[in-house]
Amino acid sequence: MIKLWNAVTGGWIVYALLAAMVVGAFGYTYHLGGKHTAAEWQVKYTTLERNYATAALAEGTRQATANQAAKQAEAIRIAIIAAQSAALQDLQRKLDDEQDNDPTSSTDCINDAGRVRLNKID
């Protein structure tokens, strides 16, 4: 049958079959290379995704720790301010009581007791 086709076509069919086999081999090789490249990119993408997730978790942990430390520092500062405020209010009450007990506190001049009370305020 091949001899008949060779006679009809002038012998180019053998070369056409060989060319088709070579093109097929190249196509198959190209297809395998494409699959290999896709697998490589999938590995790279998965690694990158995992690295991003790890970094996001680390950043979230860092932010939570920093926020907790800031809240603790804030609570300490609020406690200090509250203690200072209470001390000032006690001083204010004490000075008001001393003023109420001073019979000369309503005069136009500052007396010795008034000076002492003023000097207590810093």
SS3 readout for 80-104? HHHHHHHHHHHHHHHHHHHHHHCCC
pLDDT in tens, 27-74: 778 777 777 788 888 999 999 999 999 999 999 999 999 999 999 999
- 95 neighbors 89 (Cβ within 8 angstroms): no
Amino acid code (one letter) for 71: K
pLDDT computed for residue 18 by the predictor: 79
- 119 neighbors 98 (Cβ within 8 angstroms): no
Q: How confident is the model at residue 5 (pLDDT cuts 50, 70, 90)?
A: low
Q: What is the overall mean pLDDT for the chain?
A: 85
Higher pLDDT, 94 or 35: 94
pTM of the model: 0.50
DSSP state of 110: -
> CA-CA distance, 97 to 115, in Å (whole number)?
15
pLDDT computed for residue 2 by the predictor: 65
Please give the tally of structural domains in the chain: 1
Phi/psi at 109 (5° precision): -100, 160
> CA-CA distance, 90 to 85, in Å (whole number)?
9
**Range(s) of the domain holding residue 60:** 2-120
